[in-house]
Amino acid sequence: MFRYILRRLLQMVLAFFGTTLIVYALMFAGQGDPIQALAGERPVTEAQRAYLTEKYHLDATGVGGFFYRYFDYVKSLLQGDLGQSLTGRQIGDILQAAWPVTVKLALIALAVAIIFGVTAGVIAGIRRASIFDNSTLVLTLLVLGIPTIVLAPLAQYFLGVRWQLFPPTAGSEPTFYALLLPGIVLGSLSLATALRLTRTSVAENLRADYVRTARSKGLVKRRIVTVHVLRNSLIPVVTFLGVELGNLMSGAIITEGVFNIPGVGFNLFRGIRTEDGPLVVGIVSVLVVVYLVSNLVVDVLYAVLDPRIRYE
């Protein structure tokens, strides 16, 4: 297990450099004149241009120059310096402010998926082909079919504006209550998937041979379901939810955009829109790390949950 984790960590280093390189290349390849992009509409004086050219090593051209700047960037990245955005703010500071909001939102979404999705999935799995099972099937297909870009404004309009059950937008220092509606919207997709997955897994495990054995031992039905079946059925569900938490942490661009939540996704969206290269690359670099780490945690968790899995 230890060797497996070590190997995975080494792979993560490669994956990290690979993804940052690609994002860095994509972000800056499109720019004609980075100095003009930095300055925006304002004119740039010769002195300023000379200063910036030297600061960002823009005099080195071609592929060599690109790698020169990339390694420059990685060097400061490894020292914990994400650099400045085009607006002059420290990217580290931006993330520090955005991260807690995104984490809160992700946890709300995950809680919604677990509390409603897994519970309903277990019930639907036990009562296969019942009215409950069929109605959850229709509802989940509906949710899975509606993209967030439609669902989020609809929820905002009806629940926030029309019936005023929730604050329609979150604002700069969002409370738990203000994050609740976006959390539910964000979590609804994970909820639907978790429900379908749990339902299938429970239904499948109820038919397993070991359930027949448990019955022949004379165990009560409740114990067979809650101990034997659930312990097995939840292995894929927990794995899914782990990966999903990684996804949710990487920022919900659309949800945060619609509800005006100053989280990671919101800042990333703004960075892309304003062609703020350093900001986008900075955020994505951190997201890559979050994603890689959460995936490793899920794989390790999987081995803990299922004794048949052994990593060598």
Sequence-separated (6 or more) residues with CB below 8 Å from residue 230: 122, 202
Is residue 305 within the footprint of another protein (CB under 8 A)? yes
**E strand intervals along 192-311:** none
User: DSSP characters for 46-72?
Assistant: HHHHHHHHHHTTTTS-HHHHHHHHHHH
Asked if 126 interacts with another protein (CB under 8 A), we say no
| Cα(269)–Cα(280) distance, integer angstroms | 8
Tell me the angle at which helices 119-126 and 230-249 cross, rounded to the nearest 10 degrees: 140
Binders of another protein among residues 48 to 87 (CB under 8 A) are none
Q: Does 232 participate in binding another protein (rule CB under 8 A)?
A: yes
The answer to whether residues 289 and 16 touch, using CB atoms and an 8 Å cutoff, is yes
Query: Which of 299, 306 has the CB closer to another protein?
Result: 306
Q: Could you say whether residue 217 binds another protein (CB under 8 A)?
A: yes
**Number of residues assigned to the chain:** 312
Is 218 a binding residue for another protein by CB under 8 A? The answer is yes
Q: Of 41-49, 77-85, 276-284, 303-311, which segment contacts another protein by CB under 8 A? A: 303-311
* Per CB under 8 A, 146 contacts another protein: no
Q: Does 307 bind another protein (CB under 8 A)?
A: yes
Structure tokens of 113? 């998926």
Is 220 one of the binding residues for another protein (CB under 8 A)?
yes
Residue 226 in contact with another protein, rule: CB under 8 A: no
Nearer Cβ to another protein (162/212): 212
Q: Which residues bind another protein (CB under 8 A)?
A: 208-210, 212-220, 223, 228, 231-232, 235, 305-308
